[in-house]
Structure 1
Amino acid sequence: MGHSHAHNHAHPELKGRNLFISILLNILITVAQVIGGLLSGSLSLLSDALHNFSDVISLIVSYIANKLSRRKASLQRTFGYKRAEVLAAFVNAVSLIVIAILLIIEAIKRFQEPQEIESEVVIWLSILGILANGFSVLLLKKDAKSNMNMKSAYLHLLTDMLASVAVLVGGLLMKFYQLFWVDSVLTFAIAVYLVYVGYDLLKVSTKVLMLFTPDHIDVQKVVNAVNTLDQVKKLHHVHIWNLSDNELHLEAHLDLEADVTTTQFNRILEKIEQLLHEQFNINHITIQPEFNKKDPKDVIVQD
């Protein structure tokens, strides 16, 4: 059986320090908004505080996962903790959706019975939320492009910033036009957006945890490409999955045209590795060579 992961798959150095700064900022925002929400009677401010508190939890989860993912593999944990960040993304997505549903229920109740709200407190605390979350978003933006865990943290903070903008608009409308029902409407809108963002992240992280073939990979094209190589009869029993954001694995059986030596198979394997890495960015390959073996030769076989 041939196995390789020698091709370049450099892991970007993720900035845990930026996550830690974001955690501290969100703790500050949460405490301030809880106090302000209770004093002003604003549900949207309290919902924003609840959202920020969920972000504190999710950012801590992301921070721990980021640290765990760097730990080396061992005899008991042969993959190390590389999936910790995917699991963190999944947990964060679920928390977003649950919180959003609770906010929707509360917003509907409050809309039926609008209450007078101290808008000055709402305005100043929403500005604080915009500034702090905006800074956190800038800190994590770069890493969010290449890492699912960082993306989940980034999305939490981005939605926080947008929610604070909405709360600011609501505070201004309440201050100058006494439209107190706007507080409930904004809460509802924020919650619906949270469901939308959370569902997309939940879907992506679930696919990775379930070892589904990545959306950008066409298994049949992979098989066809390998089958064009010399001495290859058919690639079958194929599994392709993401272990983490940076590791794309292929495991398969390879039916050969001839009963080759180990040295000859190594040359064939090198060509397969190069082809799959260059065309499909697959960087971990495990191949089981076969010749005249009586077993199913279907591309996908339930093992």
Structure 2
Amino acid sequence: MSEHEHNAELSGKRFFEVTVLNAVITIVEFLGGIFSGSLSLLSDAIHNLGDSLSIIFSYGAHVISQRKQTKTNTYGFKRAQILSALFNSIFLVVISLFLIIEAIDRIQHSEKVDGVIMLVVAVVGTVANALSTILLSKGAEHNLNMKATYLHLLSDALSSFGIIIGAILITFFNWTIIDPLITIAVACYIMWESWPVIRKSVGILMECAPNLDYKAIHQDLLAIDGVKCVHHVHALMVDENSVVFSAHVNMDDLRLSQVQEIYDKINHLLTTKYGIDHITIQPETVRGENEDFFYSSKKDI
């Protein structure tokens, strides 16, 4: 089994384990919220329910992304995970806004809260959420889909921990206002953490250029023997780990075998130094030699 296949299988297993854990947490917190009267527990239960659905959605996208390329999807299905990350992050923001509205209403109309029940349920939720977060933490480093799911679970763990503090304050000092305040604080944190995932997902789907040192790339390409000019450059990301690069390269009027040697040097440079996965070079003699590195005409493709 290759490392890629092993990682895919491991990710699938982690998604399943986290889904089961989240389902259990959701049931426990719903019951705890009802019996204790805690808005923060009920809001966390709703959040966990959304997380369970999001995890299932994320796993589906993960499975689809493993499919090989076809005639209609020549780059494969990797962007299924980007779509999932975007959906999950937007869903988090919507849920957070809903919780803030509910918390503000609770501040204006305070209700009795059973701090003991709230505390017990919050401890259980914190432990389970922390375990789920640990399970997905490694995959979240290099996968936007898993990162979006990881943020769901991390926000749940923080929320549960905040509820523990709130339950202690309610039990000993009867500070019931702390319950909706914790809800607002966690909701704001969730939106803050979700924004970078949304921004990067939209950037990939809009085929924005990846964050590369293009000035250095230009200089390195021109330093290759036989390369006279580089222009009409395009770069995009299929997903957060796969970069596509194309360029027109001016050379002398050479034999095809000589052009191939130059191309091999370009390919080696871009893959080893800049981590570019898919490279397309169009060799030319004088055509476009006065154009800029990035195409500057009003009409490009």
**Offset at residue 295 of structure 1 (A):** 7.5
- SS of aligned partner of 1:158: helix
Partner of 2:279: 285
What letter corresponds to residue 292 of structure 2 in structure 1?
D
Structure 2 partner of 1:235: 230
Task: Please give the per-residue CA displacement for 1:274-293, whole angstroms capped at 9, x wherever unaligned.
Answer: 11122211121011111122
Following TM superposition, by how much is the alpha carbon of 1:35 offset from its aligned partner in structure 2, in angstroms?
2.1
> How much has 1:10 moved relative to structure 2?
6.0
* Aligned pair partner of 1:298 in 276, 292, 296: 292
Does the aligned pair in 2 maintain the 1:73–1:79 contact within 8 Å? Answer: yes
Change in CA separation of 1:200 and 1:269 when aligned onto 2, cut-off 3 Å: same
| Higher fraction of helix | 2
Structure 2 gap ranges (5+) = none
Q: Which 4+ stretches in 1 moved above 3 angstroms?
A: 9-12
The CA RMSD over aligned residues, in Å, is 1.7
The count of residues paired between Structure 1 and Structure 2 equals 293
Residues of 2 paired with 1:230 and 1:186: CA distance? 63
> How far apart are the structure 2 equivalents of 1:195 and 1:46?
19
Could you tell me which amino acid in structure 2 is paired with residue 50 of structure 1?
Answer: I
The equivalent residue for 2:85 is: 89
Unmatched runs of 5 consecutive residues or more in structure 1: 1-8
Task: Indicate whether 1:252 and 2:247 are aligned.
Answer: yes
Deviation at 1:107, TM superposition (A): 1.0
What per-residue deviation string (whole Å, max 9, x for no partner) do you get for residues 152-178 of structure 1? 111111111011000111111111110
Match of 1:221 among 195, 216, 229: 216
SS of 1:13's equivalent in the other structure is helix
SS of residue in 2 equivalent to 1:236? strand
Given residue 54 of structure 1, which amino acid in structure 2 is its aligned partner? G
Q: Equivalent of 1:115, from 107, 111, 124?
A: 111
Supply the distance in 2 between the matched residues of 1:10 and 1:61 (Cα, whole angstroms). Answer: 21
1:11 offset after TM fit, Å? 7.7
How far apart, in 1, do the equivalents of 2:293 and 2:27 lie?
56
The more displaced of 151-160 and 174-183 is 151-160
Between the aligned partners of 2:218 and 2:46, the Cα distance in structure 1 is 49
Equivalent residue runs for 1:137-152 within 5 Å: 137-152=133-148
Q: 3-state SS of the aligned residue for 2:138? A: helix
Change in CA separation of 1:81 and 1:22 when aligned onto 2, cut-off 3 Å = same
1:21 and 2:21 are equivalent in the alignment: no
Distance apart, 1:46 and its partner CA: 1.0
Conserved? CA contact 1:70–1:82, under 8 Å = yes
1:117-165 CA-partner distances (Å, limit 9, x unpaired) = 1222211111111111111111112211221211111111111101100
Matched, 1:159 2:155: yes
Q: Distance in 1 between matches of 2:154 and 2:99?
A: 18
Task: Classify 1:294/1:178 alpha carbon distance in 2 versus 1 (closer, same or farther; 3 Å).
Answer: closer
State the one-letter code of the partner of 1:213.
Answer: A
In the TM superposition, what whole-angstrom CA distance separates every residue of 1:12-47 from its partner, at most 9, and x where no partner exists?
713211111101111111122122212222111111
Q: Share of identical aligned residues, percent?
A: 37
TM, length-normalised to structure 2: 0.93
Partner of 1:267 in structure 2? 261
Given that 1:223 and 1:236 are in contact with CA atoms closer than 8 Å, whether structure 2 keeps it comes out as no
Structure with more relative contact order (C-alpha pairs < 8 Å, separation 6 or more)? 1
Cα contact 1:236–1:297 (8 A) shared by 2: yes
Equivalent residues of 2:61, 2:84 under 8 A apart: yes
TM-score by length of 1: 0.92
Rounded Cα–Cα distance in structure 2 between residues aligned with 1:123 and 1:279: 53
Corresponding letter in the other structure for 1:280: Y
C-alpha distance in structure 1 between counterparts of 2:6 and 2:266, whole Å = 26
Query: What is the CA distance between 1:202 and its match in structure 2?
Result: 0.7
SS at match of 1:170: helix
